[in-house]
């Protein structure tokens, strides 16, 4: 009998590093004696169900490997498809089993976030129950950095670097006018404040801005926010606040959620946008100075041109290690990073049973939540800095623009 084949899919929201993990899985599969063909599923598990399976043998070409590694988002496409509980409804699972048989899949790798790990856990439970030797490994990715049991997640380091550089540039842009102003920068991260913390890197590294850092882990109080702006105006004409999209008030309600819900906010304005725009209007009305809000939006998860080399290298590594783990006979595991040391920075790939990971979220720890405390800044700096290091040289096309891997 021929060697078993390998299948890989991508799921959830995009990042800059998720194709580096894809490249790692495929390249390791190609060079492993125990693996037959390497396949990719279009649009994750939805593509498996729809029999959209692609031969990924083009990854034998080192140039294609390099190109894929530095391409943002998902080369295979993504999905947001939640599998049922296999004990309650096994229809999808039987379909997946049939597809796996058709392509003689022995190894399945799913690159994604929390929801994708739920898929990995269910598939593993189903195949184990059927006594089928199909090994299933989850490869984490999320710019949000909110998966438990891992030091950090691939994709976060590049988003963190983009935010640190971009906020540094916004600071240069803002301070040029001799006029009092408030700038509110809205950062992704609905439940955890890792990205917002990273956007404060210019301050963590000794600068005086951003002045205010609002994490979702802390209760947000509008009056305290306005008071702090007024207090800081004593020392600086330009107040910059980085604010997580997920900040909540003492009752747990999202700040500015009225703006997002009914279409009309408490100022009677038509529905505008997120919390940044809400706080802009709040400051305009209650303080009355020049205010601007900037929503960094999807740029923070798409900006491959400013990827962290450390992040992409680690994302590739974790993909390769996933294949090695499966070849050792493991299944139902999620790959993770353990930080061995900070000076020099060293991580190793480890793994955990995926059931321990699914549906839990990792917050910014207490000790990194108060940016005004020097010890907190030191801890946050120690944690974040290694993750953003190193430049990635993207290939350019004949027009001088980045060249991408496109199926």
Minimum gap (Å) between residue 73 Cβ and a second copy: 4
x-or-dash pattern for a second copy, window 31-50, by CB under 8 A? ------------x--x----
Residue closer to a second copy (CB basis): 91 or 271: 271
For this structure, is 144 an active site residue? yes
| By the rule CB under 8 A, 301 interacts with a second copy | yes
Report helix, strand or coil for 266: coil
| By the rule CB under 8 A, 173 interacts with a second copy | yes
Instruction: Choose among 244, 239, 206, 224: nearest CA to 369.
Output: 244
Binding residue (CB under 8 A) for a second copy from 299, 350, 355, 363: 299
| By the rule CB under 8 A, 59 interacts with a second copy | no
| By the rule CB under 8 A, 257 interacts with a second copy | no
Q: What are phi and psi of 287, to 5 degrees?
A: -110, -40
Residue entry with tokens 């396949």 = 39
Alpha-carbon distance of 78 to 199, in angstroms, equals 27
Scanning residues 199 to 238, which ones bind a second copy (CB under 8 A)?
A: 201-202, 205
Binding residue (CB under 8 A) for a second copy from 21, 27, 32, 78: 78
Catalytic pick among 144, 211, 265, 311? 144
Question: 309-327 vs 18-31: helix axis angle to the nearest 10?
Answer: 40
Distance, first Cα to last Cα, the chain: 30
Q: Which stretch binds a second copy (CB under 8 A): 95-103, 146-154, 304-312, 338-346?
A: 304-312
- Burial of residue 175 (CB within 10 Å: 0-12, 13-18, 19+) is middle
Q: Which string of b and e fits 345-384 if b means at least 16 CB within 10 Å? A: eebebbbbebbebbeeebbbeeebbebeeeebbeebbebb
Catalytic residue IDs: 144
Binding site for a second copy (CB under 8 A): 10, 14, 43, 46, 71-74, 77-80, 164-166, 168-170, 172-173, 175-178, 201-202, 205, 258-259, 269-274, 277, 281, 292, 294-299, 301-306, 385, 388-390, 399-402, 404
């Amino acid at each position: 009998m021929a060697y078993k084949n390998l299948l890989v899919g991508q799921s959830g929201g995009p990042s800059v590093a998720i194709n580096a993990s894809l490249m790692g899985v495929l390249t390791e599969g190609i060079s492993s004696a125990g693996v037959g063909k390497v396949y990719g599923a279009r649009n994750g598990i939805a593509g498996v169900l729809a029999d959209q399976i692609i031969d990924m043998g083009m990854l034998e070409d080192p140039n294609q490997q390099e190109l894929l590694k530095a391409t943002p988002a998902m080369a295979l496409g993504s999905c947001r498809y939640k599998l049922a509980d296999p004990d309650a409804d096994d229809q999808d699972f039987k379909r997946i089993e049939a597809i796996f048989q058709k392509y003689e899949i022995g190894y399945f790798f799913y690159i994604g976030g929390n929801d994708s790990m739920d898929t990995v856990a269910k598939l593993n439970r189903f195949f184990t129950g059927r006594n089928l030797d199909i090994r299933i490994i989850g490869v984490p990715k999320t710019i949000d950095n909110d998966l438990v049991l891992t030091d950090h997640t691939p994709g976060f380091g590049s988003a963190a670097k983009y935010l640190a550089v971009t906020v540094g540039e916004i600071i240069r842009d803002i301070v040029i006018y001799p006029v009092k102003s408030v700038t509110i920068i809205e950062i992704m991260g609905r439940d955890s404040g890792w990205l917002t913390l990273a956007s404060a890197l210019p301050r963590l590294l000794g600068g005086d801005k951003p002045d205010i850092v609002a994490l979702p882990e802390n209760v947000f109080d509008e009056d305290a926010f306005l008071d702090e702006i007024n207090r800081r105006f004593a020392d600086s004409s330009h107040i910059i606040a980085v604010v997580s999209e997920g900040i909540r008030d003492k009752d747990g309600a999202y700040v500015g959620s009225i703006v997002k819900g009914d279409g009309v906010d408490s100022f009677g304005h038509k529905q505008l946008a997120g919390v940044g725009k809400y706080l802009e209007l709040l400051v305009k009305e209650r303080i009355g100075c020049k205010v601007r809000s900037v929503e960094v939006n999807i740029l923070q998860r798409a900006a491959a041109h400013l990827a962290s080399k450390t992040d992409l290298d680690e994302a590739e590594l974790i993909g390769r290690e996933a294949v090695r783990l499966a070849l050792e006979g493991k299944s139902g595991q999620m790959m993770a990073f353990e930080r061995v040391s900070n000076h020099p920075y060293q991580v190793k790939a480890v793994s955990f049973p995926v059931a321990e990971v699914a549906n839990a979220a990792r917050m910014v720890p207490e000790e990194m939540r108060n940016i005004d405390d020097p010890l907190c800044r030191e801890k946050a700096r120690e944690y974040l800095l290694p993750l953003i290091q190193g430049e990635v040289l993207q290939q350019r096309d004949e027009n001088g623009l980045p060249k991408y891997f496109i199926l």
